[in-house]
Chains A and B, each alone.
Chain A
């Protein structure tokens, strides 16, 4: 069964450093998403991406964040200058065109020290 994959599973970085989180969506999906989940809290929408551009973004997704689909398979989230409060699980998800169903990857745990 096709699934969303994410790398790395755990990333530790120092405050102020740039990080890139990577995702490989399900191959025939066209909509891509990033979410974050601070430990013990709810899942928070960051951004949706379709046709090589951002469809929607939340208030959390400020200028420090960017997304890119650099090739036909990867979808990345970049945080330019990490802050302590960026520590969280980051989930990638993908979905098809004809429904709102979306499927999540296993997540990347980001720890900012």
Chain B
């Protein structure tokens, strides 16, 4: 079946550093979404991308929809301790079928 691979799997960074993570697939998606999940809670939508090549920002977060429609990238600038959590990408295929990535676990060192 369809699979989304995220890298890195986990990362430790210093507070104030910029963070980059990506999501790749062998399948084409028409929409990409990025979510953050804190322990014991549901995923929270960060950014939605609808067009190939689209670059969208939400505060310190910037995400891009890859030109091939098979990948997406998320950048976090000037990380802070509350950025800690698991970041998931999700691709939408078919009619409202969402495939989630494997997740990137972010840990921020103060």
Contacts and interface: CB of A to CB of B under 8 A. Distances in A.
B1 interface: yes
Contact of A105 (B1, B42, B88): B42
A37 B98 CA distance: 14
Query: Is chain B's binding surface mostly helix, strand, loop or mixed?
Result: strand
Interface stretch (B12-20, B56-64, B73-81, B100-108): B100-108
Given A48-B96, A50-B96, A104-B43, A99 B48 contact: yes
B67 to A, nearest CB: 19
Given A43-B43, A43-B88, A106-B41, A101 B33 contact: yes
A56 interface: yes
Given A55-B95, A56-B94, A59-B1, A44 B45 contact: no
A44 B40 CA distance: 16
Contacts of A101: 33, 45, 48
Count class of interface residues, chain A: 20 to 34
B44 interface: yes
Interface string A42-83: 111100101000011011000000000000000000000000
Nearest to B41: A106
B99 interface: yes
Interface of A: 4, 31, 33, 35, 42-45, 48, 50, 55-56, 58-59, 91, 93, 95, 99-107
20 contacts: A4-B42, A31-B96, A33-B96, A35-B100, A42-B88, A42-B100, A42-B102, A42-B103, A43-B37, A44-B100, A48-B97, A55-B97, A95-B96, A100-B31, A100-B98, A104-B42, A104-B43, A104-B44, A106-B41, A107-B40
